[in-house]
């Protein structure tokens, strides 16, 4: 089992590392691959909270957007440094998630969801109204990712292929950390709380504090994704904070399968590739995504990866 998973991970990683070579072959382009990784990272971060700890956040775009604005504003107003921008975006989003955590940590189910949406919409309106600083409705432009300096050596990541590798490295490190945490006692505690919060509390577990931790960690990695996204397009807008994007994240997770660590990545891949392809064919692409979503929810409630897993088990 364990060795099987390692093998798959190694294979998957090789496929990802070679993406700039094979993507054009399939009619793709490396920025599309970058976007899949960025969103994949974001939804894996959200799924740590949603799928593993059972916290139904429907407002996680808040932290994606904060990461994006944090990174963009750092480049625009503070210093022309890519690492600093990524760090600033991640820290801003992570701190916000940590600060908002206590508002949600005792809520359950739908109440949890409603408060997370409300927080997200609050930030959305701040971004829209605070014109002179955020660019308002038009979004924040006028910044661009800067070459990386390693001592005397310069890596010009303004090139799309090179930026893809920056994102791949961030994705790999973040995924490795999240996977490690989910396999630690902390991760076991989240799952236990999801399964039976009362029972866990009777054993002496302060469930609210652990949900808070999940919220903060999840928000931090989501913010990293947002920062990477802002630097991918050298642009961000209030749409990156909006509840519609939060909903898209949840759709990606459900598509791929939320009981599996890698499921959301698969969901992001399907969603973004379908969006990229369908939106070039029809304006009604969202209808098709909606249909696909319904088919998957009805036919495979555990998501696509959940289904593949089942098949694998049955065959074994």
Partner 1 sequence: MSLLRLDRVSRHFGKLQAVQDVSFEMNEGELRAIIGPNGAGKTTFFNLITGFVPPTSGDVWFAGESIRDKAVVYRVKKGIVRTFQITEVFPDLSVYENVRFGVETAAGVNGRPWLPRAKRLELARRTDELIEVVGLAAKADRVVSELAHGDQRVVEIAIALTMNPRLLLLDEPTAGMGDAETDHMVDLIRRLHSERKLSILFIEHDMSIVFGIAQKITVLDHGRLLAEGTAAEVSVDPQVRAAYLGEEAKA
The reply on whether position 310 binds partner 1 by CB under 8 A is no
The nearer residue to partner 1, 189 or 229, going by C-beta atoms, is: 189
DSSP E strand boundaries for the chain: 148-150, 153-155
Burial 40-50 (b: 16+ CB within 10 A, else e): bbbbbbbbbbb
Instruction: Scan residues 28-57 and list those touching partner 1 (CB under 8 A).
Output: none
The reply on whether position 186 binds partner 1 by CB under 8 A is yes
Site string for partner 1, 203-242 (x = CB under 8 A): xxx---xx--x-----------------------------
The reply on whether position 153 binds partner 1 by CB under 8 A is no
Count of residues near partner 1 by CB under 8 A: 22
The nearer residue to partner 1, 14 or 203, going by C-beta atoms, is: 203
| CB neighbour list of residue 50: distance below 8 Å, 6 or more residues apart | 56, 57, 250, 253, 258
Tokens for 221, please give them. Answer: 């990695």
Among 118, 141, 191, 278, binds partner 1 (CB under 8 A): 191
* Biggest alpha carbon–alpha carbon distance for the chain: 60
Give, in degrees to the nearest 5, the angle at Cα 57 between 100 and 73.
Answer: 55
Among 6, 106, 184, 295, binds partner 1 (CB under 8 A): 184
The nearer residue to partner 1, 25 or 198, going by C-beta atoms, is: 198
How near is the Cβ of 160 to partner 1 at its closest, in Å?
35
CA 222 to chain centre: 5
For residues 127 and 134, is the Cβ–Cβ distance under 8 A?
yes
How near is the Cβ of 182 to partner 1 at its closest, in Å?
9
Among 31, 115, 181, 292, binds partner 1 (CB under 8 A): 181
For residues 71 and 230, is the Cβ–Cβ distance under 8 A?
yes
Among 199, 284, 290, 310, binds partner 1 (CB under 8 A): 199
The reply on whether position 202 binds partner 1 by CB under 8 A is yes
The nearer residue to partner 1, 70 or 257, going by C-beta atoms, is: 257
Q: How far apart are alpha carbons 115 and 57 in whole angstroms?
A: 8
Tokens for 171, please give them. Answer: 């994705």
For residues 285 and 279, is the Cβ–Cβ distance under 8 A?
yes
Q: How far apart are alpha carbons 158 and 147 in whole angstroms?
A: 7
The nearer residue to partner 1, 6 or 188, going by C-beta atoms, is: 188
The reply on whether position 188 binds partner 1 by CB under 8 A is yes
For residues 238 and 126, is the Cβ–Cβ distance under 8 A?
no
Contact residues toward partner 1 (CB under 8 A) are 180-181, 184-189, 191-192, 195-196, 198-200, 202-205, 209-210, 213
């Amino acid at each position: 089992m364990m060795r099987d998973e390692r093998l798959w991970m190694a294979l998957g990683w090789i496929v990802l590392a070679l993406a700039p070579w094979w993507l054009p072959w399939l009619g793709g382009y490396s920025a599309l691959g970058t976007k899949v990784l960025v969103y994949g990272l974001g939804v894996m971060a959200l799924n740590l909270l949603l799928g593993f700890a059972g916290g139904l956040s429907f407002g996680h775009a808040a932290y994606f957007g904060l990461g994006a604005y944090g990174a963009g504003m750092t480049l625009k107003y503070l210093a022309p440094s890519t690492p600093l921008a990524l760090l600033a975006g991640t820290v801003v989003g992570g701190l916000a998630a940590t600060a908002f955590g206590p508002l949600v940590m005792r809520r359950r189910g739908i109440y949890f969801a409603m408060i997370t949406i409300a927080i997200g919409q609050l930030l959305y309106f701040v971004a829209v109204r605070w014109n002179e600083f955020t660019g308002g409705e038009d979004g924040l432009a006028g910044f661009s990712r800067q070459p990386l300096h390693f001592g005397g050596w310069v890596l010009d990541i303004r090139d799309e292929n090179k930026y893809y590798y920056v994102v791949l490295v961030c994705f790999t490190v973040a995924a490795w950390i999240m996977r490690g945490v989910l396999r630690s006692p902390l991760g076991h505690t989240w799952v236990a709380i999801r399964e039976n919060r009362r029972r866990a509390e009777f054993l002496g577990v302060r469930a609210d504090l652990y949900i808070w931790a999940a919220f903060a960690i999840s928000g931090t990695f989501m913010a990293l994704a947002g920062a990477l996204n802002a630097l991918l397009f050298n642009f961000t807008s209030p749409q990156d904070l909006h509840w519609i994007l939060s909903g898209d994240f949840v759709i990606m997770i459900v598509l791929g399968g939320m009981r599996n660590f890698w499921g959301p990545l698969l969901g992001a891949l399907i969603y973004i590739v379908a969006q990229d392809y369908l939106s070039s064919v029809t304006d009604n692409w969202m209808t098709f995504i909606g249909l696909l979503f319904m088919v998957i929810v009805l036919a495979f409630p555990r998501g696509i990866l959940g289904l593949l897993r089942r098949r694998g088990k049955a065959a074994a």
